Amino acid sequence: MSSQSSAVPEFDAQTAPALMSTTRPFYWSVRRELWESRWIYLAPLSVAGVVLLGFSITLVYFPARMRSLATLDAVQYRQAIATHYDIVAGLMMAMAILVDVFYCVDALYGERRDRSILFWKSLPVSDRTTVLAKASIPFIIVPLLTSAIAILTQFIMLLASSAVLLGSGMSVAPYWASLAVPRMWCLLFYHIVTAHTLWPAPVYCWLLLVSAWAPRAPFFWAVVPPFALAGVERVVFQTWYFGRLLGARFIGDTSAAAVKSGDLFPTNPMTHMTPATFLGSPGLWIGLLIAGIFLAAAIQLRRRRGPI
């Protein structure tokens, strides 16, 4: 073999920016998170499967139930037939919260625990890119996945129930009109984005910060300090302001933008979306500012902390 064929080509430094742009570090960092944490999408898919199984059983007596609801007024009729769809929305929102919490707690701690951080730091991917890619899971990936799976589940339920009604010689027009399907889906997506993504942003970024710092038991360090502060406030001042604030952020109480109808899962077509009110809320922007500070601190800690 000639020396030319066995020679190793030299790396041209001028091609490095082009190479980095083609590999798209942020994109592949997000893909890595999905590969390593498949439960991010398997968990809501499992919930959807269980819901569809339970709904398929109810289809046995669905025509008889619909005939009994024919005498109700429009509001009562809508509330009766929307129960299953609200259950889907509620379960998916609860699952999104659980997925976000457990992911954020382990996102940066896990790579230090199994020492894979040594390998990832050897790659030409900055700490900022890595942390932002991890933050994109609760702020982008989970909301989109949850919304898509919830809407797909409701769509399958809608098709199955409509097929049963048509097979029984009943009209599906009142059923579809009462649900106001497109608006119901818009409200579902709006609620997930506002109440369970943007509003609790400080909570998720706090969990990422603790995950980057905690020497052991990140969930313990994430929970104990806030609870301790709430306890001190109660003992010293006899108030629960901090505790209520944490609870409102965690469960997604968008009090400035929220739905005034009082529905826990606002898929009611009478509910109004108020994006202008939500975006104009000082509480939203104060929370996002605090979330940004926590995220910047997590980037710095990831840069300095080594394996456990």
Q: Read off the pLDDT of residues 94-135 as tens digits, 9 standing for 90 and up.
A: 999 999 999 999 999 988 888 888 888 888 888 899 999 999
DSSP 44-78: HHHHHHHHHHHHHHHGGGHHHHHHHGGGS-HHHHH
Task: Read off the tokens for 50.
Answer: 């269980």
What pLDDT was estimated at residue 21? 57
Task: Read off the tokens for 1.
Answer: 């073999």
Alpha carbons 86 and 92: distance in angstroms, whole number: 10
As a whole-number percent, the residues of the chain with pLDDT over 90 amount to 36
Contact of 190 with 279, CB cutoff 8 Å:
no
Contact of 203 with 293, CB cutoff 8 Å:
no
Q: Read off the pLDDT of residues 208-243 as tens digits, 9 standing for 90 and up.
A: 999 999 888 899 999 888 888 888 888 888 888 888
Average pLDDT estimate for 83-91:
89
Alpha carbons 214 and 61: distance in angstroms, whole number: 53
Q: Is 116 helix (H, G, I), strand (E, B) or coil?
A: coil
* Residue 13 DSSP one-character state: G
Q: Where are the domains of the chain?
A: 38-304
Alpha carbons 21 and 18: distance in angstroms, whole number: 5
CB contact set of 48 (below 8 Å; sequence gap of 6+): 88, 92, 149, 150, 152, 153
Instruction: Check whether 19 has a pLDDT greater than 70.
Output: no
Closest CA to 274 of 266, 140, 264: 266
Alpha carbons 69 and 108: distance in angstroms, whole number: 52
Closest CA to 157 of 60, 84, 63: 84
201: Cα separation from own chain's centroid: 11
Computed over its alpha carbons, how large is the radius of gyration of the chain?
24
The dihedral over CA atoms of 151, 156, 158, 164, expressed in degrees to the nearest 10, equals -170
Instruction: Check whether 70 has a pLDDT greater than 50.
Output: yes
Range among 76-80, 108-112, 153-157, 185-189 rated most confident: 153-157
Task: Read off the tokens for 228.
Answer: 């301790």
140: Cα separation from own chain's centroid: 7
pLDDT higher at 162 or 269:
162
